[in-house]
Amino acid sequence: MPKFSVLIIEDEKNIQTFMSKVLKRHDYRVTCADNGTQGLELIRSQCPDIILLDLGLPDMNGNNIISEVRTWTSTPIIVISARTAEREKVTALDLGADDYITKPFGTSELLARIRASLRHSNRLRTDETLYIRPYRHGEMTLDFSKRLLTIGKKEIHLTPIEYKIVACLAQNSGKVITYASIISEVWGPYADSDNNILRVNMANIRRKLERDPAQPEYIFTEVGVGYRMAEDEEE
């Protein structure tokens, strides 16, 4: 298996070094850029498999890089940001970032985010049967071809709307999906952007799926941004 290549665009040397060491230790090929201009040059010349991008770069806003890169490639971009404001995260995701991770973060969280984005990216590029392989996490299995969700041996009945929401999150498991993206996927691109109908459906879904909806095992809320499904446990 060829190693996946990662480009880190980050001006804080200690964070750049930390991520670089972690990724090399886990068999990724790593290239680093200290600013946006250098980063864009490396994206064009190296064609990395995934980009880790700091938004607060010395020469430009990281969102400008996302916008430009999305005009020519769908390479996964994970935003690495100290900015905790929900609006910043939603903006980056709306521009085409695949996910975000907020500083400070740990090794396992960084690796999980990269794994999820690479898995989703490669599914889209390859045989579609991979994309509809059942989602599994813990006791839950979602069989897309049968539209069947089970926890343990128990079949869970979902309404058509609830199924669409769960399927959307499961197909993107491990990645945060914004409220607006879910609403567009489930209700269509011209749906009202009001989150209330989504929250009502999510409350019903959690009552059906979670042993304790207040401490979810499967679907997590990214406050002010969207929802994230627990990462698919690959066979």
Q: What is the mean pLDDT of each run of 10 residues along the chain (235 residues)?
A: 86 96 95 97 93 94 94 91 81 93 92 88 53 85 91 94 94 90 85 84 96 93 93 75
CATH code given to domain 5-125: 3.40.50.2300
What is the rounded distance in angstroms from the CA atom of residue 126 to the CA atom of residue 173?
17
- Residue 3, φ and ψ in degrees, nearest 5: -70, 145
Token duo for residue 113: 């985010």
Return the bridge partners of 102, or none: 81
The residues near 218 (Cβ < 8 Å, ≥ 6 apart) are 137, 138, 140, 209, 210, 229, 230
Topology match between the domains 5-125 and 132-229 = no
- DSSP letter (8 states) at residue 58: S
pLDDT at 73: 87
Residue whose token pair is 């679907």: 219
Domain boundaries, the chain: 5-125, 132-229
Q: Where are the alpha helices (DSSP H) in the chain?
A: 13-25, 36-46, 62-69, 86-95, 107-125, 128-131, 160-171, 179-187, 196-209
Neighbours of 129 (CB within 10 A): 9
pLDDT of the residue at 193:
72
What pLDDT score does 130 carry?
47
Q: What's the pLDDT score for residue 234?
A: 66
Q: What is the pLDDT of residue 129?
A: 47
Angle at the Cα of 144 from the Cα atoms of 192 and 149, rounded to 5 degrees: 90
Q: Looking at the domain that runs over 132-229, which CATH code has it been given?
A: 1.10.10.10
